Amino acid sequence: MINGAHLLLFSRDAERDRAFLRDVLGFDAVDAGDGWLIFGLPPAELATHPTQGEPTCELYLMCDDIAVTIGELQESGVEITRPVSNEGWGLLTALRLPSGAEIGLYEPKHPRPAGM
């Protein structure tokens, strides 16, 4: 039985992004050897969206209150890269990692699976 998921974040500055995930977002980590950090993540959910283009995967962090979370992130020096938009299923924005990559952030408004 599948008991979890392992997400990969490809980075042009992995050390700084690892420090960001650990120090700014507060994700617990273990050293898998030689400083290679593996981060524990909050509970997750998976959605499959139809597309006419190339299949892709995207990462979105979720929060209970997007305005409060944005304020906390900005106090830590995190750049919010998109204004909050109401997509119906949730309130959506994005934040910039030290490497320049963006990660989506949203406050879900859709029904949530049990255990979330």
pLDDT at residue number 107: 94
CB-based contact 104:94 (threshold 8 Å): yes
Q: For the chain, give the percent of residues with pLDDT over 70.
A: 98
Pick 19 or 113 by higher pLDDT. Answer: 19
- Write down the pTM of the prediction: 0.84
CB-based contacts of 27-33 (< 8 A; 24+ apart in sequence): none
CA distances from 2 to 5, 6, 32, 116 (A): 8, 11, 21, 18
Tell me the mean pLDDT in the region 60-84: 96
Domain assignments of the chain as residue spans, ordered by start: 14-45+54-108
CATH superfamily of 14-45+54-108: 2,3-Dihydroxybiphenyl 1,2-Dioxygenase, domain 1 (3.10.180.10)
pLDDT at residue number 12: 93
